[in-house]
Amino acid sequence: MADPGGDAPPPASTEYLLKKYLLLLATLVATVTYVAGLNLPGGSWLVDDASAGEVAGDSILRETNYWRYILFYYFNAISFSASLLLGLLVLLLQKEGSRGYLLRMWTVMLVDGLSLMGAYAAGISHDRFTTICASVLVSGAAAYGAIAFATYVVRRNKTTTEKLEKKHEILLVLAIFGATIAYVAGMNPPGGFWRNTVEGHHAAGDPVLQHLHPHRYKAFFFCNTTAFVASLLAIMIVVDHEKLDTTLRNSRLVTLYGFIILALLGLGGSYAAGSCRDGTHTALVVALGIPVVVLMCLQHALQHRMQALVKYSSKLGPFSWIADKTQDLDKTREYIQLLATLVATVAYTAGLDPPGGVWAANGEGHNVGDPILLTTHPGRYKVFFYFNSAAFVASLVIIVMLQSAKLVRGHALEAALILDFFGLIGAYAAGSSRDTSTSIYTLAIAGGVLIYVVIHIAFCTLEPSSKPTAARSSDEDHKRYEAKKNANLKKKREMLLLLAILAATLAYQAGLTPPGGLWEEDDDRLRHRAGFPVLQDKYPRRYMAFFYCNAASFMASMALIILLLNENLYKPGIRCYALYVCMVVGMFALMGAYAAGSSLHLRTSIIFLASVAAGIAIVIGVAINRYRHQGQEQESPFSKNDDEENKTKEDEEDMAYYLMLVGILAASVTYLTGLKPPGGMWRDDGDGHSAGNPVLYDTNKRRYNVFFYSNSTSFMASIMVIALLLSRMMLPQISSLRRVHAAVVMDVLALLVAYAAGSSRESRRSWKVIMLFPIVVFVVFLFYISMKRQRSPPPPPPITAPQITQSV
């Protein structure tokens, strides 16, 4: 126990209170800028044209609007570099951060935010309307950010004594995801881009939707840009937490909720405008919220009848024998939730937009919109498909399991996680390459990382680390010291785990959809093969550098996740810096992959690497300065709160956080896939179809409708989940978490149906995907039952075995 007469713990800085969310912000901004740098707005040339100076795989925007390309590229690269730098600064942030250190963090955050807004404005502007609209909205957000930074520099107080409320943390997560998906959608508008120029009609690199449906494109553009700017403003308000503690706190909160609601409405409006091409389907998308409301009402009607049964069943199994592990379990559960939702996100996207791309025209043995890899490498495609589907289904099962503490405590969750990891690694190895030897090399990287960590730990633990205590009087101090050391290890583990999860999802997407695009048809004369990366044929050395750097980052991140989820491995791994080495290698590999794949020109790659080197030098200097003064820094012991009512309230807040995370990520993935449906878009007019319309709609209308309405239902259910949780934050007395569970169930089921309909073109394969869900659930249930039988419940507390023996 802590000494009650000790000094009060020093107040923590706002940045420290938001440490893991600032790391989430930095990694997600790095994610979207990384993807945007590898797949530039406007698309890439698909064929060589020496007379026009067009090189296959090169950016169309560079040829059609050079200055806008330069602005976007460097703004995006600066934002990516600043995000990596911010992530490293957050990892080094201490509870009692100096004013100079926090000022450097704020400077990097300002540069990151302004660069992101500059890249968005440069990448999404195609005419006068979009340029003026984007400039006005982005300039307003940039002005607010500059004012907030100036206020921070002038303000003398650097700490706050009031802890950030849980609902503000959830709002920050929501705003971060809103900004990132709006950025991605803005860089890749629905309908795709024109690949050629027609005088008087369109130019290469212009959005197809802008010319064929100008009013619909303007609605999408305005709503998406509004969501992007509103999300950024909400992030600024929450991060500058001290403003929430002034006399204008209530008005600030109203403004914060206003921006969040505006961002949600913007995302909903842009989805309705961009996911379809006629007014009937747009109205149906908006009306899909009605079934979600009806289901929640039915669930509420059954709630009262189930309460008595739930109370009775809760009395039968107290589970008091694991009460001491609840705190550690809940903390791990939070990050497993993030891992599962992000894996489900990337697996869902990869299933609908498979590696190798889709056929752009009918041909021998295939139809337009079919996966190219299924025709050229059917065995490899099936391996990727089933591994990716297993990872997706296992992630959904994990999300459902995390709603129950009883299921989390057994080994069933471990089995589902193992299936998730193997599914993701197998899908990456099969989908990122086209030959067996490269796939083996990719898997060998993961094995090499794990072997290195084990050897490093083995050599560092040869000498005994614990020393015997001098006297019994120091036992209590030794326990406190060990408890504080374990708490520090857990904090470091949280940061590393969050960084590894987001890096793995980023590298997974980039590995399956390499920069420069993919060949859409075979060409014997030029030796092009459909489904192969353009960069591999045009610049083989640059592609090999990108491929192996990206694969090293992905495998290092997956190895880190596996190690960080095991308590027996992550503690010695952090103490001997083995896991830090893996993280640094993964980040360097990620930067190398970005430099190799984001530009085909040596000068721009050198400039980017120079900016990264400058950022790394700053981080090294900060780290050296920090460790010089580390010996005198001490943190106050953590005090437990044993009040039952507060514990229940905290559990409810954690559950709200989990549900909000599920809703946010489901809304993110369904939003982006709704704007870019599986099968791609028509590139030209003819044969009864229009350019920019979904290919699947004309080739298999029934399957497209199943995907479209399932995906839209999942999107609307996600929005309803977010809206219900927001209402619970503002009016907690009239809202219950039980009502949200029905919407989450509909969300997950609709997502599963949409994946089954969109990831395959054959009914038998779609049914196999759907049947994977009950199979995985059954296997997990068997694990749960077997582990429950192995454990015998403890005797009731009032009756003890020794007393009965003595009486006999």
pLDDT band per the 50, 70, 90 thresholds, residue 778: low
**732-757 average pLDDT score:** 69
Percent of residues in the chain assigned helix, strand, coil, to nearest 5? 75, 5, 25
pLDDT band per the 50, 70, 90 thresholds, residue 315: very low
For residue 259, pLDDT beyond 80: yes
Q: How many domains does the chain have?
A: 1
142 in a structural domain: no
Who has greater pLDDT, 48 or 610? 610
Q: Could you tell me if 83 and 30 are in contact, meaning their C-beta atoms sit under 8 angstroms apart? A: yes
383 in a structural domain: yes
Lowest pLDDT segment from 99-108, 177-186, 460-469: 460-469
pLDDT in tens, 491-525: 777 767 776 776 787 778 778 777 766 777 776 66
pLDDT band per the 50, 70, 90 thresholds, residue 617: low
CA trace torsion 117, 166, 737, 732 (10° rounding):
-100
**285-303 average pLDDT score:** 64
Cα separation, 374 vs 389, in Å, equals 15
732 in a structural domain: yes
Ordered DSSP codes for 42-64: T-B--S-BTTTTB-TTSBHHHHH
**711-730 average pLDDT score:** 69
Contacts of 57 (CB under 8 A, 6+ apart): 44, 45, 515, 516, 517, 534, 535, 538, 539, 600
130 in a structural domain: no
For residue 422, pLDDT beyond 50: yes
Who has greater pLDDT, 194 or 580? 580
What pLDDT was estimated at residue 319?
34
760 in a structural domain: yes
For residue 128, pLDDT beyond 50: yes
Q: Could you tell me if 468 and 459 are in contact, meaning their C-beta atoms sit under 8 angstroms apart? A: no
Mean pLDDT, the chain, integer? 69
Q: Which long-range contacts (CB under 8 A, 24 or more apart) does 781-788 make?
A: 781/412, 783/410, 783/411, 783/412, 783/415, 784/406, 784/407, 784/410, 784/412, 787/410, 787/411, 787/412, 788/410
pLDDT band per the 50, 70, 90 thresholds, residue 141: confident
pLDDT in tens, 35-87: 677 677 777 666 666 666 666 556 777 777 788 888 888 888 888 778 777 77
**413-426 average pLDDT score:** 80
Q: Could you tell me if 713 and 291 are in contact, meaning their C-beta atoms sit under 8 angstroms apart? A: yes
**389-393 average pLDDT score:** 82
Who has greater pLDDT, 797 or 254? 254
35 in a structural domain: no
Contacts of 325 (CB under 8 A, 6+ apart): 409
HEC secondary structure over 606-647: HHHHHHHHHHHHHHHHHHHHHHHCHHHCCCCCCCCCCCHHHH
Strongest mean pLDDT among 24-38, 135-149, 379-393: 379-393
Domain range enclosing 272: 162-461+485-601+645-807
What pLDDT was estimated at residue 429?
86
What pLDDT was estimated at residue 277?
63
441 in a structural domain: yes
597 in a structural domain: yes
DSSP 8-state assignment for residue 410: S
What pLDDT was estimated at residue 313?
45
What pLDDT was estimated at residue 470?
46
